[in-house]
Structure 1
């Protein structure tokens, strides 16, 4: 079904044991992750069990924080761009000290222009800001931010 491939899906030989070492090697090679499974298990689409797991690798990259979305009872989200283009949202789930420093920066960086935000994400609970450089952890291999979280932000020099 899947021959050795050059594309996005690649088959690898079965490797028994050494999961932690295998994952470390996948990270070093820049792969998206690995799919460990129990030897005797067969794949069942939609099955939610621990026989097959999808273990993804993560990247931490720099993005421009261009907006903040705050709603009561929900995580605060940062809206991010790279090279002036909107790439998605990331949860701001950092330490209180980082959140406090970031919120002070957001208050100083308030702006009214849309600054690269698509109209679909500009809602009354979104506050646009002049770009603030932030480190964001996100799933590797994705064009847009997925399952992303803010790790820190760059202090002004």
Structure 2
């Protein structure tokens, strides 16, 4: 487990397999059994220690040469506020159809986090702990020894 290297969003974690495969079905039963509790522990720590409103967990990468990994993305109240204030992302509303659609969803907020906190040379200002402070808090909460 590591903090995403190019993310300015505190608590954005990457949880990778130790096995060199890009396919979940290639993992051993033991490796698969480790993923669930580790993902749950990360989600719990992000909510309790960093006050994440939501935590999105997903697998996106498929680039050869990288082990299978999951993105653990905290969504804080202030992140969603920034999303709603940015007129560029209002264009996404044009894609929703039918009754019962939510105002926003995990895909839209994930896109926002990637573009604004991982790809921009000058990301928006954060509120709360810095990335290094978040790493320390999460390490203590999840009981990982310091490097």
Structure with more helix by fraction = 2
Structure 1 or 2, whichever has the larger Rg, is: 1
Structure with more strand by fraction = 1
TM-score relative to the length of structure 1: 0.28
The structure whose RCO (Cα within 8 Å, separation 6+) is larger is 2
TM-score relative to the length of structure 2: 0.29
